[in-house]
């Protein structure tokens, strides 16, 4: 497992600007079917007009990557990975915004801004947004689980962000997931002083809880793993419920004069906790489903929505309108996101990394794949 890489950039930029040779082939974690990911040798993508080639340093593993791998929802072969930071290795004709050697983080989706869904600010439903703009080969699918990724022209123009000096690749790779969390918290339209229960204190749950606190809410966190609640406390989230020992619904009611939370965020996948999340919300409260990305059926109490006037909400993916806010949150280190990373894997161990991410352990939080770990010991 690779150690944490330094944030030094001068030698790195010099090597790139002096024309580091780009190989014709590279290693990548290639999805070949349901629960079938293989480390393979594939061609390094060619870049066209307005495009750039990024040499990947760090790519976080997202729950949506795991869903696609485990459900076979997407055709094979593909190379997933979209929480990508790295160094510009090559620029295509016409590129003026970026130069070889610059450190960047890339979004993989950018909406058109003009269609019906964009006009109604549901950007994730825009057909252009669904057209992924980063690839390491095959059908564009993010491509961050590879040594190099091709960033297409509209992403170069509107979805590529420079990483400031002093900010690590690891911190920077959180820009896209932070955006999704800011969007989720904004969907709840929180008021200062409201009580928010965040169910699940994995890395996303921790970010959501931190953002809810930032919005002025009183935050209560719950999780089955005490180690994760300890982590939450280290981020100043001191009101916690050990769900392995206590009934979260009853505990929250006891903390709110019997009412329940004003808002509940469900940051755990699956459908089994939807009903408890709704039970934990007060009459007239809101429940946000944040991790329910697999289609299917779920059990809810319809009277909780009708009679108790509770609102069931959903939030998915990033918002282009929150891009600048998410960049500032990450790059200004409003939250030390590197601390969420529990495991760092070199690319050659990517299959192991994906297996651990799919079957999290009490001591595992954010898991990243680092093709850039091979830079250690090189001329950099």
Q: What is the mean pLDDT of residues 207-223?
A: 98
| Domain range enclosing 272 | 187-314
In a domain, 1, yes or no: no
What b/e sequence results for 237-269 when a residue is b if at least 16 CB atoms lie within 10 Å of its CB, and e otherwise? bebbbebeeeebbebbbebbeeebbbbbbbbbb
Comparing C-alpha atoms, which of 313, 306, 241, 239 is closest to residue 274?
313
Query: What does pTM read for this prediction?
Result: 0.92
CATH of residue 275's domain is 3.40.50.720
3-state secondary structure of 177: helix
Q: How big is the CA angle at 180 (ends 353 and 113), to the nearest 5 degrees?
A: 125
208/276 same-domain check: yes
83/194 same-domain check: no
105/143 same-domain check: yes
- 363: how many CB neighbours lie within 10 A of its CB? 10
In a domain, 182, yes or no: no
Does residue 158 contact residue 110 with C-beta atoms inside 8 Å? Answer: yes
Can you read off the two tokens belonging to residue 301?
């109490």
Q: What is the mean pLDDT of residues 362-371?
A: 96
Does residue 175 contact residue 59 with C-beta atoms inside 8 Å? Answer: no
Comparing C-alpha atoms, which of 61, 148, 52 is closest to residue 91?
52
| 372 confidence band (pLDDT: 50, 70, 90) | confident
Domain count of the fold of the chain: 2
In a domain, 3, yes or no: no
163/22 same-domain check: yes
Phi, psi of 360 (to 5 degrees): -60, 145
Torsion of CA 362, 182, 334, 112, to 10 degrees: 120
CATH of residue 33's domain is 3.90.180.10
135/198 same-domain check: no
pLDDT attached to residue 375: 57
pLDDT attached to residue 59: 98
Task: Look at the chain and count its residues.
Answer: 380
153/17 same-domain check: yes
Q: How far apart are CA 128 and CA 116, in angstroms?
A: 12
Ramachandran area for residue 335 (φ above 0: left; ψ -120 to 50: alpha; else beta):
beta
Whether residue 226 has pLDDT greater than 60: yes
Q: How far apart are CA 114 and CA 121, in angstroms?
A: 10
Compute and round to an integer the Cα radius of gyration of the chain: 21
In a domain, 322, yes or no: no
291/344 same-domain check: no
pLDDT attached to residue 373: 72
304/359 same-domain check: no
């Amino acid at each position: 497992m690779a150690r944490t890489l330094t944030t030094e950039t001068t030698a790195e930029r010099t090597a790139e600007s002096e024309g580091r040779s780009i190989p014709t082939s590279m290693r990548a974690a290639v999805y070949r079917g349901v629960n079938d990911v293989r480390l393979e040798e594939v061609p390094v993508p060619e870049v066209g007009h307005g495009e750039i080639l990024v040499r990947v340093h760090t790519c976080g593993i997202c729950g949506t990557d795991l869903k696609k791998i485990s459900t076979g929802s997407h055709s094979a072969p593909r190379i997933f990975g979209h929480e990508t930071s790295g160094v510009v290795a090559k620029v295509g004709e016409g590129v003026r915004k970026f130069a070889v050697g610059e450190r960047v983080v890339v979004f993989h989706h950018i909406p058109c801004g003009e269609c019906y869904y964009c006009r109604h600010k549901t950007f994730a439903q825009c057909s252009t947004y669904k057209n992924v703009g980063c690839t390491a080969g095959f059908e564009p699918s993010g491509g961050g689980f590879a040594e190099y990724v091709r960033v297409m022209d509209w992403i170069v123009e509107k979805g590529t962000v420079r990483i400031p000096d002093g900010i690590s690749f690891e911190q920077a790779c959180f820009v896209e997931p932070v955006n999704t969390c800011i969007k989720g918290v904004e969907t709840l339209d929180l008021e200062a002083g409201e009580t928010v229960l965040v169910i699940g204190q994995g890395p996303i749950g921790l970010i959501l809880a931190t953002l809810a606190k930032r919005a002025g809410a009183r935050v209560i966190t719950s999780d089955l793993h005490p180690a994760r609640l300890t982590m939450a406390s280290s981020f100043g989230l001191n009101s916690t419920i050990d769900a392995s020992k206590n009934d979260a619904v009853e505990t929250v009611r006891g903390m709110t004069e019997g009412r329940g939370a004003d808002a509940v965020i469900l940051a755990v996948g699956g459908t089994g906790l939807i009903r408890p999340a709704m039970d934990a919300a007060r009459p007239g409260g809101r429940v946000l489903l944040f991790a329910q990305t697999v289609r299917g059926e779920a059990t809810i109490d319809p009277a909780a929505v009708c009679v108790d006037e509770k609102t069931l909400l959903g939030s998915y993916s990033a918002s282009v309108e929150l891009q600048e806010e998410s960049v500032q949150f990450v790059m200004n280190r409003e939250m030390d996101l590197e601390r969420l990373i529990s495991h760092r894997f070199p690319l050659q161990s990517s299959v192991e990394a994906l297996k651990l991410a799919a079957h999290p352990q009490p001591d595992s939080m954010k898991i990243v794949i680092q093709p850039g770990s091979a830079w250690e010991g090189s001329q950099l």
